[in-house]
Amino acid sequence: MRRLKQGSVLASAVSITLATAAANAAEPAKEDTLEFIEVLAKRVNARERTELAEPVLTYSEEYFQRFEPLSVGEMMKRVPGVTFSDDVGEYAAPSLRGIGSEYTQILINGRRISGSGNDNTVLVDRIPAELVERVEIIRSPTSDMDSQGIGGTLNIILKEGAEFNGGIYRLGGYYIDGETRPSAFVSYGHTNDAVQWGTSLNYQERFNRKQVYSVERVLDGEGNAEPEFKTTIEPDERDTRDIAWTGDLAFKLDGGQELQFNSLFVDTDRVEHEFERAFEAEDDDGDLDSGAEQTNQTDAFRERNWMLAATFTAPTDGGNSWEVSASYDRTEGEAKETNYLVDMDFDFASVGLSSGDDILPFLSSFNDPQLNQQFRANSTQFGHEIDVFDNIDSIENEDSEDSEAKAGGKFKWKFTAATLSVGLDYVLKKRDYSFNVQELDDGQLVTLDDLFSIFNVDDERIAGFVQWGVDLTDSTKLELGVRGEQTNLEITSTVAGPVADAAAALSSLGLNVEGNQIAVDNDYFELNPTAHIRWDATDSLQLRLSAARTVRRPSFDELNPTLLLDEDESVLGNPTLDQETALGLDGGFDLRLNAEDAVLGVNAFYRRIENKIELNGVGDEVNAIFQAQIDDEIEATQYVNNPNKGTIYGVEFDLSYPLEVIGAPNFHVFANYTYVHSEIRDANSNFPIDRRFSMQPDYIYNVGFDHLIESWALTWGSSYQKRGAAEEWVDSGAATKEVADVTFEGNLEVFLEKTFAERYVVRVAAQNLLDAKRKDVTRIYESAAQYNARTPVSSEIDQEESDPWIILTFRSTF
């Protein structure tokens, strides 16, 4: 509670500062006050063309605003090469080029931010779209930015008061499946010759209800069915409330100097409810062994972020300049998962099962969706709620505190046809994390000794860069740079009993256990060069070629040496992991076509990743100790390591074209398509299989149009997004491999916008009009031969779908 109050005090203090500055520096508003706010009805149909040497795509808020995205996640699904591994209707963790969110760097105003998750991902669905001025997709980094982002970097630029004098407000309502949720936004800014400031406040509620079902069949590894199956039915609801505030204040000083402050506060409260009914039957020597149960799960999350940054820039004689900056951001996360379980009576004869001999004929008469429908139709006897006091099964508690402090400076020298920049950054990241599980024992909740995780991390990094940019000719720009990053990582972990008992064996892995503590001190140094060249071949054609070395730092879960247990495996993190590194190449062109705002972009990319972090089995000696300590039925202990390397490559296209050239005025089409591929040898030595990166689709595309009918002051349009199939690879033990074929159906959305009196806008937008579905078909194999023949020992189909949603909004200026 004290920390929450401190966050509120910080937000209030910055608000008071902004208001005081505005009062002290108040001047009559400029005559063009509303000119800056007419973006309410402005139509931007293409990404902006940049003059940078490096490959960067820039999309302003107007590009997204027509479709009324609630969050940055919903904005990102429309830009080239972005996918989400989230469930249907959720856009939380973006992945550039489809290789996993851990390879995508998320920045806000050019700065990395902290997060509550142990996987280093930033959940962008918590950031309201209304706070965003533009989004930059940095395909290949420059040396003056953090070297992370093997897949690429998303830089979210927040709105600032310099954009306008005056205010904007928005009121909206969100409707899905009988539920209505409100949203509201207000922003005000002021600028004059001495000071500029702005502040924005957003409140929104989000809701998503899904229907999920699954069917699991047991097979014999030769393509034949066994008399055993399980089917589940699961309604799933997610209810979220976001409050977000931003503020900025800039003083324009003598000699062109400027002092700027920026702040951000986001508070998210989320509850997820899952109600699962499971029906399971198997042949026990001709007897029918059947059962049914209902499981209710409630997940409650609370996450708060606040960030404050200050920057001072000063020009000097001859066009040179220098800059110093400092920032601090902090995230506090709390999560509590409560599981309730009750065995239920179910009349299996009502679906046609009276004995064990009936199972195979019963299974052969239905495909998976039909089989599930049989039980769905007969499950109404179960209550929606169960007694939470008598049937509690377990409680999982998770708490995290993550902070990052940064200070740095840089100097830029300006020459006749070149610039030289040098800079130094210092970053101190701290993380405290705890996790424990409680189970009901004789009516009392008892904390389990072997199911907990406690660790602390101090991540100290010093980075310096040198960057040289030169205009080789009037049409050719070259930029060369190098960034050195020295990292000191200190991890202290309290380990579970089985890990402490295996101390002698763990020493062979470089883990020294003393009592119930592991302390690791790791140093990394990476030297990451970058090179970019842009050639304006004609007034319409820009060519680019880039090369850069990037890294992925291990996630906290991968570093944590505490043993994590699952139903049939144990996983041991590795605090001695190396960073993944990648050499990347990008090359392509931007072409302005024979129409205003018409642009075609093409970019090819390649990444060669070394030290790929994956799971593989530990040595027999260590494994034997864990087997004895944990459970004889657990097949093997998995160990996070750097055993692998892989390649990623593909081509990205984007097109924006007005149809006025063919006689359709104010009609604009846009499209982007990304072909992606990768190659990697599976790390499990029992499965020497060449495959793609887990969850990477074949392709990603987005097509759409909008049409302005000027005489009616009316705009309407539509967009459709689709991604190809992917495989999700999971190690379920040294002797088995779990592979899921994952498919997503497309998302269709439409909008209708009406402008009144040039400053009032009413817009209605609808998404998921095709009831898009996600389908996972998961198969377990016990050998590479079974995988090659596609004859698993079990097969499970999971499908989820969400209903369409509609949002109605009203906007205006003041």
How open is the CA angle 142-145-150, to the nearest 5 degrees?
A: 75
Would you state the torsion angle of the CA atoms of residues 660, 664, 667, 668, taken in this order, to the nearest 10 degrees?
Answer: -50
The SS3 assignment for 603 reads: strand
Residue in the block written with tokens 């499950």: 379
For the ranges 28-32, 566-570, 615-619, 751-755, the maximum mean pLDDT occurs at 751-755
Give pLDDT, residue 516. Answer: 85
Sign of the torsion angle spanned by Cα atoms 754, 718, 658, 159: positive
pLDDT at 4 over 60: no
Report residue 13's pLDDT band, with 50, 70 and 90 as the boundaries.
very low
When pLDDT is averaged across residues 786-794 and rounded to a whole number, the result is 94
Q: Quickly list DSSP for 422-435.
A: EEEEEEEEEEEEEE
Give pLDDT, residue 163. Answer: 65
Give pLDDT, residue 11. Answer: 36
Would you state the torsion angle of the CA atoms of residues 7, 13, 16, 22, taken in this order, to the nearest 10 degrees?
Answer: -110
- Rounded Cα–Cα distance for residues 457 and 559 (Å): 10
pLDDT at 123 over 90: no
- For the chain, how many helices (H) and strands (E)? 10, 37
pTM of this structure? 0.88
Q: Which residue has the higher pLDDT, 605 or 383?
A: 605
What are the strands, taking DSSP E only, across 177-320?
179-191, 195-219, 225-252, 258-284, 287-315
Q: Are 271 and 300 in contact (CB under 8 A)?
A: yes
Give pLDDT, residue 31. Answer: 39
- Tell me 223's DSSP state: S
- Rounded Cα–Cα distance for residues 150 and 218 (Å): 39
pLDDT at 785 over 80: yes
Give pLDDT, residue 566. Answer: 58
Report residue 508's pLDDT band, with 50, 70 and 90 as the boundaries.
confident
> Hey, which residues does 464 pair with through a beta bridge?
424, 484
Q: Quickly list DSSP for 517-553.
A: EEEEEEEEEEEEEEEEEEEE-SSSEEEEEEEEEEEEP
Give pLDDT, residue 376. Answer: 84
pLDDT at 18 over 70: no
pLDDT at 391 over 90: no
Share of the chain above pLDDT 90, in %: 60
When pLDDT is averaged across residues 550-573 and rounded to a whole number, the result is 78
pLDDT at 107 over 60: yes
What are the strands, taking DSSP E only, across 100-140?
104-108, 111-112, 132-138
- Rounded Cα–Cα distance for residues 609 and 99 (Å): 12
When pLDDT is averaged across residues 698-720 and rounded to a whole number, the result is 94
Lowest mean pLDDT among 479-493, 501-515, 588-602, 652-666: 501-515
The SS3 assignment for 65 reads: helix
When pLDDT is averaged across residues 618-624 and rounded to a whole number, the result is 70
Report residue 556's pLDDT band, with 50, 70 and 90 as the boundaries.
confident
Residues with Cβ < 8 Å from 690, sequence gap 6 or more?
679, 680, 681, 682
pLDDT at 562 over 90: no
Give pLDDT, residue 568. Answer: 57
Q: Which residue has the higher pLDDT, 7 or 277?
A: 277
Give pLDDT, residue 559. Answer: 87
Stated length of the chain? 814
Q: Which residue has the higher pLDDT, 506 or 553?
A: 553
Q: Count Cβ atoms below 10 Å from residue 364 Cβ, excluding itself.
A: 9
Domain carrying residue 434:
2-813
When pLDDT is averaged across residues 408-434 and rounded to a whole number, the result is 95
The SS3 assignment for 443 reads: coil
Give pLDDT, residue 17. Answer: 35
Residues with Cβ < 8 Å from 126, sequence gap 6 or more?
71, 92, 242, 244, 266, 268, 303, 305
pLDDT at 506 over 90: no
- Tell me 578's DSSP state: P
Tell me how far CA of residue 757 lies from CA of 38, 709, 762, 785, 812, in angstroms: 12, 15, 12, 70, 10
- Rounded Cα–Cα distance for residues 401 and 456 (Å): 10
What are the φ and ψ backbone dihedral angles of 203, each rounded to 5 degrees? -130, 130
When pLDDT is averaged across residues 644-660 and rounded to a whole number, the result is 93
Give pLDDT, residue 39. Answer: 40
pLDDT at 33 over 50: no
The SS3 assignment for 372 reads: helix
CATH of the domain at 289: 2.40.170.20
Give pLDDT, residue 753. Answer: 94
Residue in the block written with tokens 């530990």: 618
Residue in the block written with tokens 């409050």: 243
Estimate to the nearest angstrom the gap between the alpha carbon of 634 and the chain centroid: 32
- Rounded Cα–Cα distance for residues 600 and 257 (Å): 39
Report residue 30's pLDDT band, with 50, 70 and 90 as the boundaries.
very low
pLDDT at 324 over 90: yes
> Hey, which residues does 741 pair with through a beta bridge?
727, 777
Q: What is the pLDDT of residues 240-263, one digit of tens each?
A: 999 999 999 999 998 889 999 999
pLDDT at 345 over 60: yes
Q: Is 152 left (phi over 0), alpha (psi -120 to 50) or beta?
A: left
Q: Which residue has the higher pLDDT, 784 or 3?
A: 784
What are the strands, taking DSSP E only, across 129-224?
132-138, 152-158, 166-176, 179-191, 195-219
Report residue 115's pLDDT band, with 50, 70 and 90 as the boundaries.
confident
Strands 82-84 and 476-494: unpaired
Q: What is the pLDDT of residues 429-450, one digit of tens each?
A: 999 999 998 988 877 888 887 7
The SS3 assignment for 507 reads: helix
pLDDT at 162 over 70: no
Residues with Cβ < 8 Å from 465, sequence gap 6 or more?
143, 144, 421, 422, 423, 481, 482, 483, 484
Give pLDDT, residue 381. Answer: 53
Give pLDDT, residue 553. Answer: 92
What are the strands, taking DSSP E only, across 537-636?
541-552, 563-565, 570-572, 580-592, 599-617
Give pLDDT, residue 117. Answer: 79
Give pLDDT, residue 629. Answer: 63
Q: Are 346 and 290 in contact (CB under 8 A)?
A: yes
Sign of the torsion angle spanned by Cα atoms 507, 512, 518, 524: negative
Q: Count Cβ atoms below 10 Å from residue 74 Cβ, excluding itself.
A: 21
- Tell me 71's DSSP state: B
Q: Are 607 and 582 in contact (CB under 8 A)?
A: yes
When pLDDT is averaged across residues 60-82 and rounded to a whole number, the result is 90
Q: What is the pLDDT of residues 360-374, one digit of tens each?
A: 999 999 999 899 888
Cβ burial of 191 (10 Å; 0-12, 13-18, 19+) is: buried
Give pLDDT, residue 66. Answer: 85
When pLDDT is averaged across residues 610-614 and rounded to a whole number, the result is 91
> Hey, which residues does 410 pair with through a beta bridge?
323, 423
**Structural domain count of the chain:** 1
Q: Are 637 and 735 in contact (CB under 8 A)?
A: no
Alpha-helical runs (H) found in 315-462: 359-364, 368-377
The SS3 assignment for 384 reads: coil
